[in-house]
Structure 1
Amino acid sequence: MQPLRWAEWDAWFDTLDVAFGGVADAPERRAWWREVTEIDRMLAVRDGADTVATGGAFSFGLTVPGGVELPVAGVTAVSVLPTHRRRGVLRSMMRHQLTDVHERGEALAVLTASEPAIYGRFGYGVATQGLAMTVDTVRLAAPDLPGVDGVRLRLADPVATVPDCERVYAQLVPDRPGMLARRPGWERQGVLDPESERDGAGMLQCVLAEVDGEVRGYARYAVTPEWDRSGPHGQVNVRQVEALDTVVYAALWRYLFGIDLTASVAVRGRPVDDPLPHLVADQRRCQLGLQEALFIRPVDVGAALAARMYRTPVEVVLEVADDFCPWNAGRWRLSGDEKGAACERTSDPADLALSVRELGSAYLGGFSLAALAGAGRVRELRPGALAAATLAFGSDVAPWLPHGF
C-alpha cells in the first residue's frame, strides 16, 4: 500500500472504473475528478506493477449541530479488483486510512456507500437520509405563498452563474447539520453536464431567483421530453434547488411545476424535512421515498462529541465499543448543552453502552438513540439516561448531505 503519485493517476483511476463495472466516466467528469484529487490522501495497492485496489479521501468541512464547521475526511474511491477480493485488502486499507485520519487530527471520517453493508464493520453508521420525490404536476397545483410574485426568475447559463449559486449555498451551510463546506473546485460538480450522462434529457438549465437585485435562490434542472398519442408528458429532472427563504423556495418550485410540455417533476436526495410535500395539497401525488446518504465514523470520540452542541443539557457516561480503532474504546463522560460541550475519559459507571457505529448514526441528530435502542444496538444501563440523551442529541432540522463525493 503506497501513496499515489501524479504519474500513476490515470492507471489508478482506470482501476477504479473497472472495479465499479467498467463504464468509464465521461472525459469532462474524469478531468474534474483529477482536478479535485488531493494526491497526498489517495492510496494505491499494487500487485507487482498492477494497481489492484484504490482508496482515498477529500478534505471537507462538515456542519455539526450548533453550526460549527468540523474538518472531516470524505472517504472516496474505495475499490478492490475482483481478482484480489477476500484477501484482507479492504480491511488493511481501511485501517491504514483511519490511522492517517486520526494522525491528521480529524475527528470524523464520512462517506457515501455503494454497498452499505460493507462499511458497518469498519465503524461507519448511516447518519442522514435523502428524500426522493416524483411529483404529478398535472394533478397538483403549483406551490404558492404570499410574496412569490415579487421574486424575479431569470434563466441564465449554468456555468456563468456558479459564483452566484455558490454564494447562496455558502449561506445555507451553517444552518443544517451534514452540509459540506466545499473546497475550491467542488462548486463545479453541480454543473458538469456530459452529453453521455443525460440519459435522454436535454442540456442542463439554471434559473436564478432574485429579490431587489439580489440572487436568493437557484434551481438546476434538465427536461426529459416524452410524447405519446395523448400529447406531451415530459419530466423535469431537478439536480439542485436552494433558497435563502421560504418565499423564494416556493417561487422556484412554482416555476419548475409550470415548465411547458411536462407532466412531472423528479428530484432526489432532498432533506427529509423538505417543505415541498407541505407546499402541495396531496402528498400521495409526490411518490415519496427515502434512501441512506451520509455515513459517519467517529475517529476521535472525545473530540467529535465535544465539537457539537446539544439541544438540551446532557450529562451522560457512554461505554463505547470500537475494535477497529481501539483508542476510542472505553468510557467517556459527555457534558454539554446548547452553548458547548466537553467529553473526557472516565472510570465512572456507564449510563449507556453502544458501539462507535451507533454513535456515528446518532451524531448529527438524524437517527435517535431511542430508535437504535429499539433495534438492540444501544443498551440503557441507568434508567432515564436513554430518554435524556435522545433528546439532547436531536436536531431542530434534519441533517442533510447536499451532494456526493
Structure 2
Amino acid sequence: MALETRVLQADEWDVWYDHLELAFGGVPESSEERDLYKSLTEHERSLAVWDGDTCVGSAGAFSFRLSVPGGALVPAAGVTMVGVAPTHRRRGVLTSLMRRQMDDFRAGGEPLAVLTASEPAIYGRFGYGTGTYSLAVDIDTTRVRLSVPPGTDELRLRLVDPEKALPECERVYAELVSRRPGMTARQPLWERLALLDPPSMRAGGSPLKCVVAEREDGAVVGYARYRVKADWDLTGSEGKVLVNDLDALDPAAEAALWRYLFEIDLTWSVRATKRPVDDPVLHLVSDVRRARPMTRDSLHVRLVDLPAALEARTYGAPLDVVVEVEDTFCPWNEGRWRLSADAKGEARCVRTADPADLELSVRELGSAYLGGITLTSLAAAGRVRELRAGALTEASRAFAGDVAPWLPHGF
C-alpha cells in the first residue's frame, strides 16, 4: 500500500503522538507534559505519514522568532516531533518529510529553520549545521568557592512559588532575548514549559523550587529554578542541587543566585545543564576543574532563504566577500553571492557573477550564522575553502559574535 503524507488533523493528534513516543523508545510521557505539547502543537504545520490507518512518520514545526547577532528577532521554523516507525526505515519517509517542510518554510517566508537533534548525524545531509553548544557543570561545592562582584550583597533573595513568580521571571527572560543570539522569544503557552514538574522529570529530586533576586525597590533582576535531591550515607548528607534554569540581568544578580545555590544546606554539589558555553559561573568559581565543564551540540541551524537570512543579522566588521555556496537540498540557495556589510554591520546579499572568494556549503553557513562557531575553525577542518588570500579572516571576524549563542531550552 502506498504511503500517504498529509497535514495533521486535530482528532488525529493522540495517534500521531503515540507514534512519536514509540519512535523515541516507547516510554509514555506524563499527562502533564503530553497535555502541554498538545496545546503547543500547530496542527497546520504538523505532518503525518500514514500506512493505511497506522501513523508511521511525523514532523512538525513551531513558529519561533529567533534572536540573531544585532538583536533582531527573525522568523524561524522550529522543527520538532520528527520520527519514523522502525517498521518503515529506508523507504524515504524522513527525506520526504524534510523536503515537504523546506518547501513549506520557503513558501511561508521563513528565512531560517532550527532544531535540536536526538541524533545529530541525521540532519547534516539536509543542510543543518551545529550553530550553538550548551554547557553542563557538576560543581563540587565542598571544594569550590565563589568570588562575587561588587553589589552582590545589596540584592535580596526571596523563595517564591514558581507559578506565582512566573510573570516576573518572564520579564527577565524577555529582556535577555535580544542580548544573546540563539534565544527564542516566548510565544503564548511556551512559558509553561519551564514549570513542567511531574515526578518523572525530577530525576529523584524535590518538586520545583524558585528563588528570585530583587533590588531594594523590589524589582526582580534574576531568578533560578531548581530541585534538591536529598541523599544520605553513613557519613551524612550527600545532597545535590539540580538547576533547571538561571537568568539574571546583571553580574551581581548572577553571582547572588549562584552563591545561593552553592550554600543550600545538606547539599554538596550543584549540577546545571543547558547553560551557555561562556557562562559567568566559569569565572566565578575558584577551581574550574572542580566544576567539571562539558559541552554538547544544541541548536542546529538551516538557512532556508540564504540572502534574507544573511541580511537579517548584523556583522562585527565591514565585509565584502563573494561566497560560492553548495546546497543540493535547496538549490535556490546555490551559486555565488556577494555579502557586504557596512561599518554599522548592516548587510546586503545579492547574486553575482564575480569570482568567488570562499567556497562552502549551506551547512557551514548555518554553523557560523549565530556567531559562535568561526569560519576559520571550519576551514581548519576543510569545510571552508579560501580562494582569495585574506577573505577567510575578513569573513570570520565579521561573522563572529561577542557572546556565545545559546538556546536555553529544547523544543
Decide: shared fold, TM above 0.5.
yes
Letter matched to residue 263 of structure 2? G
Distance, in Å, in 2 between the alignment partners of 1:197 and 1:301 is: 39
Q: Is the 8 A contact 2:61 2:77 kept in 1?
A: yes
Q: Is the 8 A contact 1:143 1:280 kept in 2?
A: yes
Contact conserved, 1:143 with 1:253, CA < 8 A, in 2? no
TM-fit CA distance, 1:144: 2.2
Deviation at 1:351, TM superposition (A): 0.4
Match status 1:318 vs 2:323: yes
Query: What is the aligned counterpart of 2:176 among 167, 172, 177?
Result: 172
Please show how residues 45-56 of structure 1 align to structure 2 within 5 Å: 45-56=49-60
1:335 aligned residue (323, 327, 340): 340
Code of the aligned partner of 2:408: P
Unaligned runs of 5+ in 1: none
Query: 1:229 maps to which residue?
Result: 234
> Does 1:162 pair with 2:178?
no
Residue 188 of structure 2: SS of its match in structure 1?
A: coil
User: Aligned-pair distance for 1:395?
Assistant: 0.1
Q: Distance in 1 between matches of 2:127 and 2:201?
A: 34
Instruction: Write the letter of the residue equivalent to 2:99.
Output: R
Where do residues 10-25 of structure 1 align in structure 2 (5 Å cutoff)?
10-25=14-29
Indicate the residue corresponding to 1:189 in structure 2.
193
2:368 is the counterpart of 1:367: no
Which of 316, 331, 354 matches 2:360?
A: 354
Please name the residue that 1:33 is paired with.
Answer: 37
Conserved 8 A contact 1:143-1:254: no
The question of whether the paired residues in 2 share the 8 Å contact of 1:233 and 1:261 is answered with yes
Where 1:281 maps in the other structure, the secondary structure is: coil
Matched, 1:68 2:72: yes
Supply the distance in 2 between the matched residues of 1:25 and 1:251 (Cα, whole angstroms): 35
CA distance in 1 between partners of 2:210 and 2:147 (Å): 19
2: CA distance, partners of 1:248 / 1:75: 34
Aligned length: 405
Q: Which residue of 2 aligns with 1:134?
A: 138
Cα distance between partner residues in 1 of 2:311 and 2:148? 42
SS at match of 1:367: coil
For residue 180 of structure 1, give the secondary structure of its aligned residue in structure 2: coil
The equivalent residue for 2:220 is 215
Matched residues in 2 for 1:32 and 1:326: separation? 37
Distance between the aligned counterparts of 1:240 and 1:369, measured in 2? 30
1:142 positional shift? 3.6
Alignment partner of 2:150 out of 134, 146, 149: 146
Report Cα offsets for 1:11-31 as digits up to 9, x if no partner: 000000000000111000000
Matched, 1:270 2:275: yes
Q: Which residue of 1 aligns with 2:92?
A: 88
| Alignment partner of 1:382 is 2:388 | yes
> In structure 2, how many angstroms separate the alpha carbons of the residues matched to 1:111 and 1:210?
35
> Counterpart of 1:112 in structure 2: which amino acid?
T
Contact 1:351 1:382 in 2 (8 A): yes
Mapped to 2, the partners of 1:230 and 1:49 lie a distance apart of 58
Measured on the aligned residues, the alpha-carbon RMSD in Å equals: 0.8
Give the partner amino acid of 1:264. Answer: S
SS of the residue 1:175 aligns to: coil
Cα distance in 1 between the residues matched to 2:382 and 2:11: 49
**1:35 shift after superposition:** 0.8
Q: Aligned partners of 2:16 and 2:277: how far apart in 1?
A: 36
SS at match of 1:160: coil
CA distance, structure 2, for counterparts of residue 258 and residue 276 of structure 1: 15
Deviations 1:309-358 (A, max 9, x none): 00000000010000000100000100114341110111111100000000
Whichever residue aligns with residue 332 of structure 1, its letter is W
TM-score of the pair, normalised by structure 1 = 0.99
Q: TM-score, normalised by structure 2?
A: 0.98
Which of 271, 287, 290 lines up with 2:292 in the alignment? 287
Segments of 5+ residues of structure 2 without an aligned counterpart are none
Output one character per residue of 1:45-90: Cα deviation in whole Å (capped at 9) or x when no partner. 0001111000010011111111111010000000000000100000
Letter matched to residue 369 of structure 1 = L
Q: Work out whether residues 142 and 258 of structure 1, in 8 Å CA contact, stay in contact via their aligned partners in 2.
A: no
